[in-house]
Chains A and B, each alone.
Chain A
Amino acid sequence: MSASAAKVARRRLTNVVFEAFCVVVTVVALAALAAILWSLLSKGIVGLNLDTFTLSTPAPGSRGGLANAIVGSIMMCLLAMVMSVVVGVLAGTWLAEYGGRSAYGSVVRFLNDVLLSAPSILVGLFVYEILVAPFHSFSGFAGSVALALLAVPVITRTTEDVLSLQAATLREAGVALGAPLSYVIRTIIWRSARSGLLTGALLAFARISGETAPLLFTALNNQFFSLDLRGQTANLPIVIYNFALSAQEDWQRLAWTGALLIAATVLAVTVVARIVAKEQRRS
């Protein structure tokens, strides 16, 4: 009796220790992450004013903002999104509707999943080798291609997932009316999966908008305002990187502001993506 009572007591103790551990680490983890968000907000908001959006990156000690970097980032991300949505949606469609069950299809799917979390710096090296070194010039265009290479696996993946969720009866109904399969896919399946596809694109955008490593050797940076993607293009991540590692306090302040802008954009886009995804589930 006492032996089993002791056993019960021991199990209880183990459980209390386990539960306490779970609660403590959750609190610690959330506290650490809250601390990061707090520093970001408190240090970033100091430098946030109208100048941030209207002036270009300054020389140390003079007045300036992040306008050239913001515009460069937006241009490169948008161009990357155009490229990656086209390729990603088509590739995802092929996996879901045409060849996904073939051996080749499962190879593509597997490698896409691997690419999903591949080190972004290697993508930067690759694009440097194919688009920067041969032309002897860094360019915003090369930066866009690097970002697109990171976004495509995300879009391919979500496209395949949402298309596979569409009811088979939808396809059958369309084909039974005499429409070719490709027409059914484009006008019925894509349309009914529209918000799911949008979610994928938004998640990919969130993924690439803060990427720094692939831009280091592709877009590089530009001190001046420029709309020309054929030359070096200023962008937020690299400006943050350079300014944060500088010894100038005003540059460091701008780096925090830039980091805040990027993090806020990523969070906002992710939240919108989740809302869109929820709507998809409801309909």
Chain B
Amino acid sequence: MTDQALPAAGRSMPDKPTRRSSPRGALVGQVFEGLCFAAATALLVALGGLIFSLVLGGWPAMKTFGIGFLFSTTWNPVTDVYGAAGPVVGTLVTAAVALIIALPIAGGVAFFLTELCPAALRRPIGTAVELLAGIPSIVYGMWGLFVFAPLFSKFIQLPLMSAAAPGSLLEKLTTGVPNGSGILSASIILAIMILPFMAATLRELLLTVPPTVRESAYGLGATTAEVVMSVTLPYVRTGAIGAVMLGLGRALGETMAVTFIIGNSHGFPKSMFDSGSTIASTIANEFTEATSPMHVSALIALGLVLFVITFTVLGLARLMLRMQGARL
């Protein structure tokens, strides 16, 4: 209360309040709150700085090549002419194929764990899947190069290539050097890498379905397939799409699992077995060896393209998960 607000007379006043200095803790409290605020803001500054540095570093390349940067397939450090179409398409194709492979499997694992698994196995398998989601991606990359590629070459590539009739669609899809690396191999390794993550997230989502909802469906005589497809999955639909897109975001930005096995050539990939590159693998391979300023700038511009793609996907994924009320 301020003095003006007090009635002028007619009421007995207590002693005039002594002005107390603010308690000792108050300043500490303000400083502490300020520090917390600064830390939260530092996150935004880091993200802003990331965007700014990518734009700034990529600017010379974007200015020189214009919008054609995105559509040109030439990537030639010798003549200093760069176009991003090869790596961009490689990124999108490998991530999409990885998702097509991983999605049904991750769904199957999540459904198995929530509906079919014997109670005794539920915890151990669930924990194993979650632990595997944390294995560093370089391990997947090494396994892909040393173990998967030779097997893939021997049992998939060679038989398919010899079975393909000349001139047929299969022949077109399977041209390439059968050394086990290439677009399809990279997609499969990516799929294996995002599988545990997606399965764990989907399982967590399915566990949020209230037991009564599932039980009433079973009570009406629904089969397991019907419960999953018409009750539990629709219940978490938005969140499930978000979880899938989170997996897609990982696949798009993954470096190590891909670099080992994609073959690292810059052209537009012509077949499933053709070697190619993704944005991340191109940056990883060339950045430290890039000598001309334009080469460095083109690589950073590639990074900006990757940033735009992944942040769109991840942002949408987070919005959808939030609409589901799930924080994963």
* A79 contacts across to B, CB distance below 8 A: none
**B53 in contact with A130 (CB, 8 Å):** yes
Is the CB–CB distance between B136 and A244 below 8 Å?
Answer: no
Contact present for B146 and A39 (CB under 8 Å): yes
Knowing A122-B307, A130-B49, A266-B134, say if A32 contacts B252 (CB, 8 Å). no
Q: Is B186 an interface residue (CB 8 A)?
A: no
Contact call A217/B288, Cβ cutoff below 8 A: yes
A173 within 8 A of B: no
Query: What are the residues of chain A within 8 A of B229 when measuring CB–CB?
Result: 18
Bound complex: CA A25 to CA B129 (Å): 13
Contact of B37 among A14, A99, A114, A125 (CB under 8 A): A99
A125 with B40, Cβ < 8 A, contacts A263-B139, A266-B136 known: no
A256 to chain B: which residues have CB within 8 Å? 142
C-alpha spacing A261/B142, complex, angstroms: 14
Cross-chain contact B284 with A121 (CB below 8 angstroms): yes
Per-residue 0/1 for B54-83: is the Cβ within 8 Å of any A Cβ (1 yes, 0 no)?
101100000000000000000000000000
Interface centre among B32, B131, B141, B252 (most CB of A within 10 A): B32
- Please report the total number of B residues contacting A with Cβ < 8 Å: 88
B284 touches A245 (CB 8 A): no
Contact A94/B39 with A125-B287, A213-B280 known, Cβ cut-off 8 Å: yes
> Is B215 among interface residues, defined by CB-CB distance under 8 A?
no
Determine if A40 and B49 form an interchain contact, defined as CB atoms under 8 angstroms apart.
no
Query: Does A111 reach chain B (CB closer than 8 Å)?
Result: yes
Residues of A within 8 A of B137 (CB): 210, 212
Contact A129 B28 (CB under 8 A): no
Segment 92-129 of B: residues with Cβ below 8 Å from A: 104-106, 108-109, 111-113, 115-116, 125, 127-128
In this complex, the member of A21, A43, A88 whose beta carbon has the largest number of chain B beta carbons within 10 angstroms is A21
How many chain A residues touch B (CB < 8 A): the figure is 94
One of A45-53, A58-66, A180-188 at the interface:
A180-188
Per the 8 Å Cβ criterion, residues 1-60 of A in contact with B are 11-12, 14-15, 17-19, 21-26, 28-30, 32-33, 35-36, 39-40, 43
Chain B positions 236-275 with a Cβ under 8 Å from a chain A Cβ: 246, 249-250, 252-256, 260
CA A252 to CA B32, docked complex, whole Å: 50
B interface footprint on A197-226 (CB within 8 Å = 1, 0 otherwise): 000000000110111110011001000000
CB of B47 within 8 A of CB of A115, answer yes
> Which residues between 19 and 58 of chain B lie within 8 Å of chain A, taking CB atoms?
23, 25-26, 28-29, 32-33, 35-44, 46-47, 49-50, 53-54, 56-57
**Quick check: is A233 within 8 A (CB to CB) of the other chain?**
no
Chain B residues lying within 8 Å of A128, measured Cβ to Cβ, are 287
With A121-B303, A259-B142: A213-B311 Cβ-Cβ less than 8 Å: no
- Does B196 touch A at the CB level, under 8 Å? yes
A152 to chain B, nearest CB (A): 7
Contact of A122 among B249, B306, B318 (CB under 8 A): B306
The answer on a CB contact under 8 Å between A91 and B39 is yes
B132 interface hit (Cβ, 8 Å):
yes
Bound: A206/B136 CA distance, A: 9
Given the known inter-chain contacts A111-B43, A129-B57, A213-B280, please indicate yes or no for A21 contacting B108, CB distance below 8 A: yes
| CB of A276 closer than 8 Å to a CB of B | no
CA distance A37 to B57 in the complex (A): 40
> Across the interface, which residues of A come within 8 angstroms of B306, CB to CB?
119, 121-122
Segment of B152-160, B163-171, B206-214, B220-228 in the binding face: B220-228
Question: Using Cβ atoms and an 8 Å threshold, which residues of chain B touch A245?
Answer: 145, 260
**Nearest CB of A to B244, in Å:** 13
**Minimum Cβ distance to chain A for residue B72 (Å):** 22
Residue of B nearest to A125 (CB): B303
Task: Judge if A179 is at the interface, Cβ distance under 8 Å.
Answer: yes
**Complex Cα spacing A266 to B138, Å:** 13
Do B109 and A26 touch across chains, with their CB atoms under 8 A apart? yes
Partner of B255, one of A30, A40, A89, A212: A212
Interface contact A118-B303, CB-CB below 8 Å: no
Quick check: B223 and A114 within 8 Å, CB to CB?
no
Centre residue among A110, A130, A216 by max chain B CB count within 10 A: A216
Residues of chain B with a CB closer than 8 A to A212's CB: 136-138, 255-256
The residue from B35, B132, B249, B288 contacting A117, defined by CB atoms under 8 A apart: B249
Point out the residue from A32, A125, A185 that lies within 8 Å of B57, measured CB to CB.
A125
- Checking B38, B105, B249 against A28 with a beta-carbon cut-off of 8 angstroms, the contacting residue is B105
Taking a contact as CB atoms closer than 8 A, the residue among A29, A115, A152, A255 that contacts B109 in the complex is A29
User: Which residues of chain B come closer than 8 Å to A206, judged between CB atoms?
Assistant: 134
Closest chain-B Cβ to A192's Cβ sits at a distance in Å of 18
Q: CA A224 – CA B290 in complex, angstroms? A: 25
What residues make up the interface of B, taking CB atoms closer than 8 Å to A?
23, 25-26, 28-29, 32-33, 35-44, 46-47, 49-50, 53-54, 56-57, 104-106, 108-109, 111-113, 115-116, 125, 127-128, 131-132, 134-143, 145-147, 192, 195-196, 199, 223-226, 228-229, 246, 249-250, 252-256, 260, 280, 283-284, 287-288, 300, 303, 306-307, 310-311, 314-315, 318, 322, 327
Seed contacts A36-B140, A216-B284; 9 additional CB < 8 Å A-B pairs: A15-B224, A26-B113, A90-B38, A111-B43, A129-B57, A161-B327, A213-B280, A220-B288, A255-B142
Closest 6 CB pairs of A and B: A210-B136, A119-B253, A25-B108, A90-B39, A94-B36, A18-B225
